[in-house]
Chain A
Amino acid sequence: MQNKKQEWQRVGIFFLLSYAIAYIPEITLGWKMGDYENWTDPDMLGWFLFVTFSPAIAVVLTRYITKEGWKDSLLHINLKGNLKYYMLSVFFLIAFELPRGITANLMAGEPPFAGFTVPKFFGILLMTAGMSIPLAFINFGEELGWRGYLYPKLEKLIGVPGTVIIGGIVWGLWHAPLTVKGHNFGTDYPGFPYLGLVLMSLFCISTGTFLMWLTKKTNSVYPASIAHSINNNSAGAVAYSLASEKIEEDTIDLFQHSAITMGYMLILAVVFTILILKDSKKQKTPAES
């Protein structure tokens, strides 16, 4: 009981710190700069750096404040025997997002692979996927916080399905100041900005489940950092390399497109939740017996 209370306290402190460190500069900048398009000011760069690493800063501060130490920090690479998961972290989300490009073509009344050419598709695939691996350190801050600290703690407290949902919502809403300013889906959609926040949370629930599964399989936050980096820099670019040249950014409703493709993204959440539950059961069984 005492242990559970202590864990909740740790989660609470982490939650407050990670949100405060990210929200304060983001809200201040949003108030100062207006829409997201205006945020490309050189003065903003330092703040972005701070915001990106806010979950990691929150982990360090929480562990220091609560005197928790660095046990179970998931900071080991654990490459031995886990190479397949590292490979999966590079290619899975790219493969999974390919239907987004096809859907974009179909929405615009074009053939499914209208924009496919060998140099364009493989060029973007090889270049962005390759570059995302060393650049994964940019997303390491988030992964150390969410998958390396919050998710394992929540799993102990509320179980796997609860972690997938609550963790995803916490992660999704952490992006709220950017979503509200139009970073994720623009600003021109029905129900702005509330539906955007819901969609972002759903997206984070589905992607978060895969990242949680990767982290649990490897006992390391690095594969999740790579997959996160691939998701941010590469998966969308590869998917949209399939899009017809006739499709311009304005002709596709980004929100509508994301909402349509969310259906199969949620399948991802269900499948990986089942896989995590199965693995947990397997791990429990020998100990119980």
Chain B
Amino acid sequence: MKGLLYKELVQNKIMLVAVGLCCIFSSFFMGILPFMAVMAEGDDLSNDASFTVIMMIFITVLDYFFLLCFQGNFFQTDERKKWAYFIASSPETSVGQVRSKYFLVIICDMGVLIWSYFFENIANPIQGTITGTTVISGLLFFVHLFLSAFDIPFMIRFGAKGGNMVHTVMFVLMIAVGGIYLLFGDLSFFDSIDDFYDKILNFLHGENISDWLYFWLGLFIWISMGCYWLSYRLSCKFYLKGVEHYAK
């Protein structure tokens, strides 16, 4: 297992560095540079906490988005029939191969979470506000886990290309659902942009949150963990069937 995980890290190092660089650059250019520019002109942004919070949330979402985009490549690197049959016949078996992929995704997910936490601690003194976006980052960790739970079995069953199709369909569906909600849903929370910002700030600081919101978010967290485990079990079953779809 350790050997396979090491192989994954070495094999995907370019992708991992790419995700890391995307996160670092996006965070720096959006989270620090504008604030330094404002400070250089002698203005104070500490009173505009809501803008800073929204910016930090956007950066966190973007970091997870980068990871989701690059994730497909982790599966493409091993798409060779010879390797698949070799590993299936080794003591590690196909289960070890699948497990190492699932571990790699969790490691990357943790990497983004840790980066967001550290970045928040580095950026907040420059921004002049305590944003408290670690909560959002933690929730997005589970959103990513939940999406990966659907994504990965398809990649394993139909190859990375087939999986990427599902990936795209998922994105389109999410955008479509979001669009439909924006057209026909309840948008009363947007009525006053100040109220909307206040609600986000209250949520981040754990104030005035309804018990049911806590309940559903908490349930989602545990469901996403359960889905990821189920997805792993399914992928273990699918692995050798998926090998037939490999080009090489």
A interface residues (Cβ-Cβ under 8 A, vs B): 40, 42-43, 45-46, 48-49, 117-120, 122-131, 134-135, 137-138
Q: Which residues of B contact A128 (CB under 8 A)?
A: 218
Does A42 contact B129, Cβ atoms closer than 8 Å? Answer: yes
B interface residues (Cβ-Cβ under 8 A, vs A): 46, 109-110, 113-114, 117-118, 120-122, 124-125, 127-130, 134-135, 138-139, 141-142, 211-219, 221-222, 225
Does A45 contact B125, Cβ atoms closer than 8 Å? Answer: yes
Given A117-B211, A130-B142, 20 more A-B residue pairs with CB atoms under 8 Å apart are A40-B130, A42-B130, A45-B121, A46-B121, A48-B121, A120-B211, A123-B212, A123-B215, A123-B218, A124-B214, A125-B218, A126-B222, A127-B218, A129-B218, A130-B221, A130-B225, A131-B139, A134-B141, A134-B142, A135-B113
Q: Which residues of A contact B217 (CB under 8 A)?
A: 123, 126-127
17 contacts between A and B (CB under 8 A): A42-B124, A42-B125, A45-B121, A45-B124, A45-B130, A46-B121, A49-B118, A122-B215, A123-B218, A124-B218, A127-B215, A130-B142, A130-B218, A134-B142, A135-B113, A135-B138, A137-B113
Complex CA–CA separation, A124 to B211 (angstroms): 8
Interface of B is mostly: helix
Please give me the residue from chain A that is nearest to B118 by CB atom. A49
* Partner pick for A138 among B117, B130, B213, CB 8 A cutoff: B117
Q: Which residues of B contact A135 (CB under 8 A)?
A: 113, 117, 134, 138
Does A137 contact B211, Cβ atoms closer than 8 Å? Answer: no
Does A126 contact B117, Cβ atoms closer than 8 Å? Answer: no
Q: Which residues of A contact B141 (CB under 8 A)?
A: 134
Does A126 contact B110, Cβ atoms closer than 8 Å? Answer: no
Q: Which residues of A contact B128 (CB under 8 A)?
A: 42
Complex CA–CA separation, A137 to B130 (angstroms): 20
Knowing A42-B128, A117-B211, A126-B218, the reply to whether A131 touches B121 (Cβ < 8 A) is: no
Complex CA–CA separation, A120 to B211 (angstroms): 5
Interface of A is mostly: helix
Does B124 contact A130, Cβ atoms closer than 8 Å? Answer: no
Complex CA–CA separation, A130 to B145 (angstroms): 13
Q: Which residues of A contact B214 (CB under 8 A)?
A: 119-120, 123-124, 126-127
Please give me the residue from chain A that is nearest to B120 by CB atom. A45
Q: How far is the CB of B117 from chain A (nearest CB, A)?
A: 7
Please give me the residue from chain B that is nearest to A138 by CB atom. B117
Complex CA–CA separation, A130 to B224 (angstroms): 10
Does B218 contact A42, Cβ atoms closer than 8 Å? Answer: no
Complex CA–CA separation, A117 to B216 (angstroms): 15
Complex CA–CA separation, A129 to B225 (angstroms): 12
Does A49 contact B121, Cβ atoms closer than 8 Å? Answer: yes
Q: Which residues of A contact B225 (CB under 8 A)?
A: 130
Q: Which residues of B contact A130 (CB under 8 A)?
A: 142, 218, 221-222, 225
Q: Which residues of A contact B221 (CB under 8 A)?
A: 126-127, 130-131
Most buried by B among A42, A124, A125: A42
Does B211 contact A131, Cβ atoms closer than 8 Å? Answer: no
Knowing A45-B124, A49-B121, A130-B222, the reply to whether A119 touches B211 (Cβ < 8 A) is: yes
Q: Which residues of B contact A120 (CB under 8 A)?
A: 211, 214
Does B138 contact A131, Cβ atoms closer than 8 Å? Answer: yes
Q: How far is the CB of B87 from chain A (nearest CB, A)?
A: 18
The 4 closest A-B pairs by CB, nearest first: A126-B218, A123-B214, A130-B221, A127-B218
